[in-house]
């Protein structure tokens, strides 16, 4: 009973919203709509619910066990958070400038629902690194709620991706990418500034 009370006390709506926005910007599911539509054309039906749930499970598991993995290789969370801020910085630059700094292999997947939709499109290196970076700054319950909210939103976007692209248009998607790119850039700077000083304490 005390544990449940502690969880409720730790829950913070402002923190949850901040984490939600960070993950939403990093995952960039709206900006990835053209990729999703192209995959649908290539492989046919994509199970939106399955892809969203698998991605959510990957993110939650990494949130709790990613730190142990780091400990095994002798890296502390603060150092990882600083490294994560650099990744966020470069992802933001890609979104704002419309450039590609990192290009993945374009081998066609047999099951597009799991790969590459769930991983690495949704739960990719950027979002997983971000989760551990956020863990260094925010309470786990707020991050979990933010992940669940993102998973719900991802499901909706995947389910209605064709309609969204038709309504917003390609230019609309590009504008959204740039706006969230600027937000992500600011978050990367804040994350770097708040963790770099702790490394020298």
184-200 pLDDT per residue, tens: 788 788 878 887 877 77
Residue-number span of the structural domain to which 44 is assigned: 2-200
Asked if the model's pLDDT at residue 109 lies above 70, the reply is no
Secondary structure letter of residue 30 according to DSSP: T
Greater model confidence, 105 or 12: 12
Residue 94 to residue 113: CA distance in whole angstroms:
25
Highest mean pLDDT among 24-38, 136-150, 156-170: 136-150
Q: What pTM was computed for the model?
A: 0.76
At 38-67, the pLDDT tens digits run 777 777 778 999 999 999 999 999 999 988
Give me the pLDDT at residue 103, please. 52
- DSSP letters, 106-171, are -PPPS-TIIIIIIIIIIS-HHHHHHHHHHHTTS-HHHHHHHHHHHHHHHHHHHHTHHHHHHHHHHH
Structural domains counted in the chain: 1
pLDDT band at 128 (very low <50, low <70, confident <90, very high): confident
pLDDT band at 107 (very low <50, low <70, confident <90, very high): very low
């Amino acid at each position: 009973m005390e544990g449940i009370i502690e969880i409720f006390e730790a829950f913070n709506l402002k923190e949850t919203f901040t984490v939600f926005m960070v993950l939403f910007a990093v995952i960039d599911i709206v900006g990835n709509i053209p990729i999703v539509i192209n995959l649908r054309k290539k492989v046919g039906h994509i199970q939106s619910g399955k892809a969203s749930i698998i991605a959510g499970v990957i993110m939650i598991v990494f949130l709790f066990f990613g730190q142990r993995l780091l400990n095994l290789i002798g890296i502390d969370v603060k150092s990882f958070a600083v490294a994560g801020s650099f990744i966020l910085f470069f992802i933001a630059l890609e979104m704002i400038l419309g450039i590609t700094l990192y290009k993945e292999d374009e081998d066609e997947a047999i099951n597009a629902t799991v790969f590459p939709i769930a991983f690495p499109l949704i739960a990719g290196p950027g979002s997983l690194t971000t989760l551990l970076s956020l863990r260094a700054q925010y309470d786990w319950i707020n991050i979990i709620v933010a992940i669940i909210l993102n998973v719900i939103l991802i499901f909706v976007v995947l389910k209605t991706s064709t309609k969204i692209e038709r309504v917003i248009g390609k230019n609309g998607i590009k504008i959204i990418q740039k706006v969230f790119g600027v937000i992500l850039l600011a978050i990367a700077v804040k994350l770097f500034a708040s963790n770099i000083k702790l490394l020298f304490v």
